[in-house]
Amino acid sequence: MALDQCPFDAQIPVYTHLVQKETFFKEESEHPCWFDLNFEIFDATLHCSYYQITSKRDVNSLVEDAYTMASKHNVMANYRREYEIHNPYNGHGIIFEISGPVASTYQFFISDSTRHFLRGSLYFNSKVKQDSVAPILTFIKKDVDKFLSSIKFFN
């Protein structure tokens, strides 16, 4: 699968494997643009979920859900840093960088605030020690940041 099912273009790292998600907890995915970017050489996966925005309440609810998902890691987190992202194509959102023995250390959402919303969470596929994966995480985060800066939503 390329990003053919998605209403946006983006640059994905050449060493990743893109897999369309057809189910979510044994239910059909809400949109055909739910996908994973598998960083196989690092045993990590970026889970991405796309939502079409239909109303202002919709976007507020999606943003709230993204904060809720990031907050679920607060119990085990040493700290959580949030920072705004803006790309050259009118995409903006928040990156959640979560430190400590948590399942997902890097999460984000990006949107054009009117029609498109994409949420992502990076997971290592096995239990890892933060110290040992720090260089790998730094490398992957740079590629995820490039992915986010290249997202161009279609009108």
Cα–Cα distance for residue pair 66/123, rounded to 1 Å: 16
CATH number of the domain enclosing 16: 3.40.1000
Cα–Cα distance for residue pair 72/56, rounded to 1 Å: 25
**Other Cβ atoms closer than 10 A to 120:** 24
- Count how many domains the chain has: 1
Asked if 38 and 19 touch (Cβ cutoff 8 Å), the reply is yes
Has residue 3 got a pLDDT over 60?
A: yes
Cα–Cα distance for residue pair 59/129, rounded to 1 Å: 35
Name the percent of the chain lying above pLDDT 90.
69
Name the phi and psi angles at 22, rounded to 5: -90, -20
Q: What is the pTM of this model?
A: 0.91
- Position 114 scores a pLDDT of 94
- pLDDT band at 128; cut points 50, 70, 90: low
Please report, in angstroms and rounded to a whole number, the separation of the first and last CA atoms in the chain: 22
- Range(s) of the domain holding residue 87: 3-153
**Which helix (H) or strand (E) element contains residue 83?**
strand 79-86
Q: Residue 47: left if φ>0, alpha if ψ -120 to 50, beta else—which one?
A: beta
